[in-house]
Structure 1
Amino acid sequence: MASAAEQLASNLNFSAFAKADELKRRLLFTITILIVYRFCTYVPLPGIDPDALARFFEQQRSMGGSMLDVVNVFSGGALQRMSIIALNIMPYISASIIMQLLTTMSPALAAMKKEGEAGRKKINQYTRYGTVLLTAVQGYGLALTLQSGGMVSAENAGAFFQASTVISLVGGTMLLMWLGEQISARGVGNGISLIIFAGIVAELPRAFAQIATSNMSTLATLALIAGAIGLIYLIVWVERAQRRILIQYPKRQMGNRMFQGDTSHLPLKLNTAGVIPPIFASSILLMPLTVASFSSSQDGGPAWVNTFTALLGQGQPLYLALFAAGIIFFAFFYTSIVFNPSDTADNLKKHGGFVPGIRPGKRTAEYINYVLVRLTVVGAIYLAIICTIPEFLRAKNAIPFALGGTSFLIMVNVTMDTVAQIHSHLLAHQYEGLIKKSKLRGGRKK
């Protein structure tokens, strides 16, 4: 017989949305924050020469594009307009990576993480300090390259421009970080992921226009559309794939009543890390490449910079190899952070659950880890293929980054997670309605 939760889930529909006031407020809040984010992409840094900046990006596109296009898509066009959020949320992601690495290496930080909510707040505070430091360093480097590249008006060049750029970029990145946290706390979905998602979606019209005005044949365009549809289907199929480990619970007696044993499943996703690995790998590769791309625009740039950008250019073997290696590393690293087999085995043991044929405790943890590692191998290979092969084809055929594998992976995953949260809110609203009805019926009987 289906449980009450299963019955509610099967009857779940959006007709209940009109009565879910809390969900509507959350959705409206999320949309408002994303609109604010889009407005911020049009607030320029002080002192920038817009004509020189436009000529620089036009030159980059005429040369077949560069890594600047990738950063520009992630920032929703903010880099091309050189707005106060040109660095987007990438410094915060880089600081999060550093903090998570330090947490695994430092016993003090590891102990702090186990303190619960208080420890999490402390780690988040350290992450914010790291974000400010990284943004200041990257902002200063960007100010120098803009100034030496002739993209700053002559009357504004100098120390004042450098200071104002650093302050503006730090303020913009911290604003984005705060907006993302507000969405996570008071809206629907993960705020940081939704900000990246909004940036990619905002660049889709320009990507479609670029395809429409290109010399691509009709057959190639149809092949691109078919490939995009197939890629979306593959991502949805893999992201929903699970390996379910059977869990059994023995018979137990409570008072004078004997309860029969029950069975359930421990679901392990094929891709436990989600979109984090490609985002982390991109953030590590993109910032040095961005500075190098700006530097190479200065009268040809130093020879070593040109060599560096050439080796790590779009579709180049070294870039694809480093990108794939970063994705695989972060797939294992992030999975080890979000899922601890030992803790799961201990929780099962406390509640009397066990895997058939496996002893509770250490043996169960080893078995769960055995399954998880093999799932992560498949998931990491899937992520590497999804993100690198379309990247190679995109570079060879001048396809915009917004139509690449990484972009589709982020858009599909964020959409699925957000829809799942909406369903959860609707389900909770239906539960509240049932509880109220039961109370009313109980009062009438009395």
Structure 2
Amino acid sequence: MSGPKVVLVVEDDPVLGPALVQRLRLEGFRPRLAATGAEALREAAALRPDAVVSDIRLPDMSGEAVYLRLVADLGALPAVFMTAFSEVAQAVRLVRAGARDYLTKPVDVDRLVEALGAAMAESPAPQRMEAAGPSLGISVAMREVEALIRKAARVDAPIVLSGETGVGKEVAARFLHDVSARADEPFVALNCAAIARDLAESTLFGHERGAFTGAVSRQAGVAERAGAGTLLLDEIAELSLDLQAKLLRLVQERRFLPLGAAAERPFAARLVCATHADLAAQVRAGRFREDLFYRLNVIPVEVPPLRHRTEDLPWLAERLLAEAVTRFGLGARHFTPTALASLADHEWPGNVRELRNRIERAVALTDGDDIGPADLFPERRLEGDSPAGSSRLGAAINDATRDAIAEALQHAGGNRAEAARRLGISRTTLWKRMRELGIVAD
């Protein structure tokens, strides 16, 4: 017989937090209080809660960032959010990510308990993702891609990953490797567009000493170095027709012949190919072998562009931010709510690769801990933060931000330090946003 449902309460208010815990305990739940985002993530890893009640504004990160991390680690999780400010764009993102409700402060505790009970009734047990390995996204489109890859990982049939440049095809290939039975074996990737034509065959299949001028020693190719793991051939459409013929033999016979070798060697790896080109069109144009196309395209997986899965933007941004901060060895950095909202107002022609580059630049160049829209999109500074041609979403975000700051200043009696604390941002960020939005405090 199962015990009380575990509810993680994330609230830094020293009065509201314990009050919610007491009420939820009386309602038959097993609540656990965390005062910061970092503490919430640690508690969640240990407790694996059944639901979350969280404030949006936390001392170290946003409640949205916490929830997206929890979804990535634990799967779909019923959640109810609390905030002192009505931010429609953020509410929409949270609901799309799986949140049940969004309540403004002062919180009606009866309504909160009702919303939490309804959420848990609809999802009595959180849908945990399969153990190990990162998820590819929280959008419906990427969950479908992930489900397809997990199924494909159970068999050794070739896979072709297609999609625009920068969408994350190599990430998807690594995910396939990590959730397969070959996870403990090597993962080897080769960009076929980046190798010199006269070295392509040697790079793929290796060579023996003396096989050609300059071959002073035996060299293993990627087909051999992949062992019993996974071999990713990225930009497969760039291979010459003669190499395509030799690759066909590797696929059909599971054997290959290094340059200068007297005997073939077995190929034991799983073959995954990736391309941004339309391989079927390449076949019709005579630039890709039809027989190889049908041997490779057993399980086709298309990775959608980032502009078609905007629900993934905050989730990806938080992950890439954490990676950048760790890689650069810098202190903590946080996105402002308007920065996260601004991500949806961009077309992302470079997809995830562009998102990564923008975040890394912002982390390296931003003064202070808060990363705002202008840090991610410095080119917009030339047009002003609210140009006449900006989208209605951008205008709505600015209006909501202006209202939130005005309300915080009013409650704080004009004290900027107190208003910044209520908003969950630094005084420097508050001052910058007031100046940008033309807010004057008495």
State the TM-score, normalizing by the size of structure 1.
0.21
Q: Quick check: which one's strand share is greater?
A: 2
State the TM-score, normalizing by the size of structure 2.
0.21
Larger relative contact order (Cα-Cα within 8 Å, sequence gap ≥ 6): 1
Q: Quick check: which one's helix share is greater?
A: 1
